[in-house]
Structure 1
Amino acid sequence: MSGFDVGNRLKQLRLSRELSQRELAKRAGVTNSTISLIEQNSVSPSVSSLKKILDAMPVSISEFFAGEIESHDQVFYPSSELTEIGDGTLSWKLVGARRPNRSMSIIHEHYPPGADTGEEMLEHDGEEGGVVVAGTIELQVADEVQQLKAGDAYYFDSRLPHRFRNAGDSECVIVSANTPPSFSDGGDEQHHV
């Protein structure tokens, strides 16, 4: 994750909440070694795994990537200043991650062939929508599954379980937005086991 120390940030947040690796692992429903390996940057967590761990603290994804840095109300963001929040396979670049009091998230998403948000479907408060810019993506929302191609769009209630998967043989690029500006504001969500 270019330029962002996921392991150190997770450790910093865990220690600030006075949680042991064991306690955080128990709350998140993952193994102790998972927390340890992430904190050592030995593995990159999937988006759904990271979200599950952060929900257990609770910390939102946007708060996690914003870090402690406050910024002015910047208007323009060169691509080099977008914050990578993907999992090392799929790339999600967040616009204005450090902007104080953001009320939405805008994400430039890149899914290489075979990329998948995971068998554990995502669920979080809010709404999200996006437009496929290039390639194709399989989007499942609850029981509905649709193949979307460049120019197609989506908009749904994020509390419905959802999953994105690139079953094609070329990269898929999506520009999306969601509100509120995170996957979750707390740890009240039910996860698939």
Structure 2
Amino acid sequence: MDQDTGKRLREVRTTMGLSQRQLAKASGVANATISQIESGNLNPTVSMLKKVLDGIPMSLSDFFSDNFEFTEQVFFKASELVEIGKDDVSYRQVGNHLVNKTIQMLSECYQPGATTGKHPITHDGEECGIILSGQLEVTVGDQKKVLTVGDAYYFKSTQPHQFKNTGREPCTVISACSPPGF
């Protein structure tokens, strides 16, 4: 690897429509490190470059290929959904990265008693969902309702909102958020 690695990384990153900060966040590599690689001031190890490329995502072989072309993945196996949740709330996202995307679609699962937290969430955009199993208490602003199988919600995400599984079984939801909120 040499100075061409930095130029190549910049080319790939800009082709993907990613800023250095976005790539840093997606890969877990410091923004300053990505900047140093791109400027030729840091020659990354293979493992460091792989970690950076995982944020795109892109394999090392594709990165070094002479005929680089990024193709958007269209179909996803269940095992390819990206887990972005934690603890008792699972958020399985369709798509590896959502840079320059306008929709975020999730398969959500709330274990009994699981909640999105003590404090309401707010962010730009809109979100909606349909309950597939179990029940989910949805609070939006000063409105609160327990939704069950087949029920749905749709609201502007700038309103404070919370989700809680008040039932005795896991609750599964298919949801969408525009623009992507995570």
Q: Would you call these one fold, judging by a TM-score over 0.5?
A: yes
Query: What residue is the counterpart of 2:106 in the other structure?
Result: 107
Query: What residue is the counterpart of 2:144 in the other structure?
Result: 145
Give structure 1 regions of 4+ aligned residues with deviation exceeding 4 angstroms. Answer: 8-11
Which of 9, 16, 19 is 2:31 aligned to? 16
For the 8 Å contact 1:73–1:99, the answer to whether it is kept is no
Question: What CA distance in whole angstroms lies between the structure 1 residues aligned with 2:119 and 2:93?
Answer: 22
Question: What CA distance in whole angstroms lies between the structure 1 residues aligned with 2:97 and 2:140?
Answer: 30
Structure 1 unmatched ranges of 5 or more = 1-7, 19-65, 184-193
Query: What residue is the counterpart of 1:79 in the other structure?
Result: 78
- How far does residue 98 in structure 1 lie from its aligned partner after superposition? 2.5
For the 8 Å contact 1:130–1:153, the answer to whether it is kept is yes
Query: What residue is the counterpart of 1:31 in the other structure?
Result: none
Kindly report which structure 2 residues correspond to 1:9-88, keeping only aligned pairs within 5 A, or say none: 12-13=28-29, 15-16=30-31, 67-69=55-57, 72-88=71-87
Query: What residue is the counterpart of 2:161 in the other structure?
Result: 162
Structure 2 unmatched ranges of 5 or more = 1-23, 34-53, 59-69
**TM-score normalised per structure 1:** 0.60
Q: Over aligned residues, Cα RMSD in angstroms?
A: 2.4
Query: What is the total number of aligned residue pairs between the two structures?
Result: 128
Query: What residue is the counterpart of 1:98 in the other structure?
Result: 97
SS at match of 1:86: coil
Larger Rg: 2
One-letter amino acid of the structure 2 residue matched with residue 67 of structure 1: G
Percent of counterpart pairs with the same letter?
Answer: 39
- How far does residue 99 in structure 1 lie from its aligned partner after superposition? 5.5
Q: Which one has more relative contact order, counting CA pairs under 8 Å at least 6 apart? A: 1
Deviation digits for residues 24-66 of structure 1 (CA, Å, limit 9, x no counterpart): xxxxxxxxxxxxxxxxxxxxxxxxxxxxxxxxxxxxxxxxxx8
One-letter amino acid of the structure 2 residue matched with residue 138 of structure 1: E
